[in-house]
Structure 1
């Protein structure tokens, strides 16, 4: 059964039988046979074939979601048994949203590699929505995100607080005003993150707090690109203090101080709810608090 499910998942994710066969080092007829056997086992057609591509049927979508979970549980089972007799080792799939992943996670990974060299982290960076979904489907062992996550199959634990501040480039008009009003913020260009981002969610919360609805916005999918754009004078933005420490110290970015212009949010740990997690996952979980305690934020 596991082999059938693995083959089926590869066909779905790679879009056709030939690419799945190449990835699995199997012949295409063998891949087709495994999918046929699975369809016979569940009693339904799982894939529709057209123009050398495949699309899941409704039954296929159900089987795909459960197949991912079954494969993940089997892999976890083997890892847990291995943990009983060996030092923590193997791959640990970690997902993080951009702020945490690019500016905080490297410190934790460095410490883990120093203490547990046999654990090999594989890092995925994405927005909060993407990371939560991949933890849910067990593509990732663990996730760290900003923003709110509500999912009945995920364990969500607040691990730290983050402070978000409004910043502009050093040559922006607002950088030289002794006082900045909400009207000033309404009438300037805002550079914001994309939908699904925790930073975007926090920015919209700030707009509600300040009771503004800026008509001029630019949407970028990268914190680094936003920083560069703000430094170049394109607009104003809301960013985590973690992401702008160097720029603030160098003076290329300036804080804009307005009433209620500082906003706090939480970094959350995401785990798929299951009876046990691997030793590598638990070790990483412990290091999160030891390396950078919540008070640091």
Structure 2
């Protein structure tokens, strides 16, 4: 088994399509098929089944995916250490950021890094806060960028910026004329919220708890996986939601904003204390920490 075989296997597993995997890897379809066949024959297993005109992972293939990811992540970490000793700030930096951070705060800092260190290749994935923290914990990301707190105890969390939560509502909503709204009044309204695991939602829960409420006290009509979806639902109906001020301002949607009492929250960078910090990682953290 080689690392290249594992890279090819993961490319096919991610896309469940040999041709698309070959295009992504800049290989021929026959080369990709031959690599998968060699891996299967070497271990006398089947990694993919063909169902009609498509392929699916077998039980063995599904079990191999997380192990292959971990092994390739460690191989990339070794490569980064060696690159670092070459006295060059270069290599691939894997970032995983929560939606608000990735869409409204991080891009200009990525541009700064590229301008200062053009030899660093950036790879950005976007998810919710829980997914980001787990990826850093597992070694799939070098840096995680999140809003709020995380439960993974081993990770190092460094605050690099501040944000605040705001209520968002249609301009026709009865509360749009109010400048301040006590948290105790929130239980009287219908809500559209981000999904469980999002930083915005966890910070909102913190605000509710301080006021003696929980999410169970609210009338939650919808849970949606993105800020854009939440804003569209709020603009079209009579429900309230809560989100980052940065996201609400940047969206340009026809909604009204009201500050959430006690809704100040941090943006933070996550690193794993037991993993080697390359020059590329340190360069990114320095830029993220700049005023």
- Listed as ranges, the matches of 1:1-297 within 5 Å are 1-42=2-43, 44-135=45-136, 140-151=141-152, 155-160=155-160, 162-168=163-169, 171-177=172-178, 180=181, 184-208=185-209, 209-211=211-213, 213-227=217-231, 230=234, 234-244=238-248, 253-255=256-258, 261-271=261-271, 275-291=275-291
Q: Is the contact made by 2:11 and 2:21 (CA closer than 8 Å) also made in structure 1?
A: yes
Structure 1 residues 256 and 36 mapped into 2: Cα distance closer, same or farther (>3 Å)?
Answer: closer
1:163 is displaced (CA, Å) by 3.4
Write the deviation string for residues 159-212 of structure 1: whole angstroms up to 9, x where unpaired: 255432435455532233477455642222323212332112233444444426
Q: Is the contact made by 1:192 and 1:203 (CA closer than 8 Å) also made in structure 2?
A: no
Q: What RMSD, in angstroms, separates the aligned Cα atoms of the two structures? A: 3.7
Q: How many residues align?
A: 285
SS of corresponding position for 2:93:
strand
1:227 is displaced (CA, Å) by 4.6
1:90 is displaced (CA, Å) by 4.2
Structure 1 residues 223 and 20 mapped into 2: Cα distance closer, same or farther (>3 Å)?
Answer: closer
SS of corresponding position for 1:276:
coil
1:107 is displaced (CA, Å) by 4.1
* Segments ≥4 residues shifted beyond 6 Å: none
TM-score (norm 2): 0.76
Structure 1 residues 59 and 156 mapped into 2: Cα distance closer, same or farther (>3 Å)?
Answer: farther
Residues of 2 paired with 1:290 and 1:255: CA distance?
A: 29
Residues of 2 paired with 1:256 and 1:284: CA distance?
A: 31
Residues of 1 paired with 2:157 and 2:202: CA distance?
A: 18
Unaligned ranges ≥5, structure 1: 292-297
Structure 1 residues 26 and 128 mapped into 2: Cα distance closer, same or farther (>3 Å)?
Answer: same
Residues of 1 paired with 2:92 and 2:180: CA distance?
A: 52
Report which stretch shifted further, 67-76 or 232-241. 232-241
Residues of 1 paired with 2:30 and 2:10: CA distance?
A: 16
